[in-house]
Homo-oligomer: A and B are copies of this chain.
């Protein structure tokens, strides 16, 4: 009954049933998703995927964020889902390491643009798609993830199908079949991490979920108990699971509110150290610094202990590089993880001043840091909860600034400002088309 109850919950939830707080968080999530998607729009892997358009002589229906090309609904969902995960800079439901927007938002944008659907309905579809995927993730985490499934993809496909089903105005029967078709396409192995195939995953989940809905719309039949059946999703893909979590407190508790945004373009374990170094920079100029001591959770050195990174990507796995740029430039965005920055003489020299120490009792989102100057002076700072954690979320201003850094060079400053303004009152816009047009980079690059 889990699947059926879930579908009934989804269909009973109208726009007006969604609290303002959730709608606001949805708009933030969508804006953050758009920013990371636009920012990565010219990664080489995107050209490869868009090359499929020619291979397949496919239709021109919807936009690719950050690019001038138009592609068909399915290729659009694949591409926009992929780009948003390329920088590893997208949103995170910290309880399950699930990045909810990646599989859901591309479907909302594709159908929204193609059918010019009321933005209120788009917000509803986004919220419901995210709720469904995050609740299923709650039910199968951690065994599903530990086994080796990339949960954003393998569970995200359900969210994509539900978002599409909401926008295609499904009845209970159609939504059940769509979930069956989605679940049987669930896939995505963690073995792919570190290759282009990792960001391919949320894109494929978006595409598969939309395909499921397009077929269910036509009357295609599937299992109506995909989550709980003996050989259904949970039994086959999660050695341990608790399906009660899928529907519990529906409408009272909103998983989307636990969706966090990354202020920095690297692993979350580094974020407290970045916050600390940004604070310390007010005490000294670089040439005055003797060393910066950071006392961190053991995970930090385990995951990001690279002493001499050679590429931007390696820089993301180096606390030495990350603390350095945070102090020198006051940020750790994509700009600070470019290959030339990692190799810059002043950056290389300053790296040797970073002295990390492990403390097993230090919480993961906490850090203690001390700066020692050449003149003997010392200043200390403690970060209790890193920026972007649930306890210390990014402000709207910080989110806007992150968006600007990602999109200014792709769609231009003017379009960037307009998009930010539009997103603040997204639900009252007459159409999503205008916003998408601002994001396609037509004005800047073509």
Question: Which residues does A use to contact B, with CB under 8 Å?
Answer: 44-45, 47-49, 51-52, 55-61, 72-74, 147-149, 180-181, 183-192, 195-197, 200-201, 204, 211, 214-215, 218-223, 225-226, 229-233, 235-236
CA of A52 to CA of B263, assembled, Å: 40
Return chain B residues, CB-CB under 8 Å to A215. Answer: 48-49, 52, 200
Question: Most B CB atoms within 10 A — which of A44, A200, A225?
Answer: A200
Rounded to whole Å, the gap between the CB of A231 and the closest CB of chain B is 3
24 CB < 8 A contacts A-B = A44-B219, A48-B218, A48-B220, A49-B220, A52-B211, A55-B214, A56-B58, A57-B58, A57-B60, A57-B61, A58-B59, A59-B59, A147-B236, A148-B235, A149-B236, A180-B195, A184-B189, A184-B191, A184-B197, A184-B200, A189-B233, A191-B229, A191-B231, A191-B236
CA of A195 to CA of B61, assembled, Å: 31
Rounded to whole Å, the gap between the CB of A54 and the closest CB of chain B is 10
Across the A-B interface, give the 8 residue pairs with the lowest CB-CB distance, nearest first.
Answer: A57-B59, A148-B231, A148-B236, A48-B218, A197-B222, A191-B231, A187-B187, A56-B72
Partner of A221, one of B61, B197, B223, B232: B197
Return chain B residues, CB-CB under 8 Å to A221. Answer: 195-197
Return chain B residues, CB-CB under 8 Å to A52. Answer: 211, 214-215
Return chain B residues, CB-CB under 8 Å to A44. Answer: 219
CA of A197 to CA of B235, assembled, Å: 19
Return chain B residues, CB-CB under 8 Å to A220. Answer: 45, 48-49, 196-197, 200
Rounded to whole Å, the gap between the CB of A240 and the closest CB of chain B is 14
Rounded to whole Å, the gap between the CB of A324 and the closest CB of chain B is 29
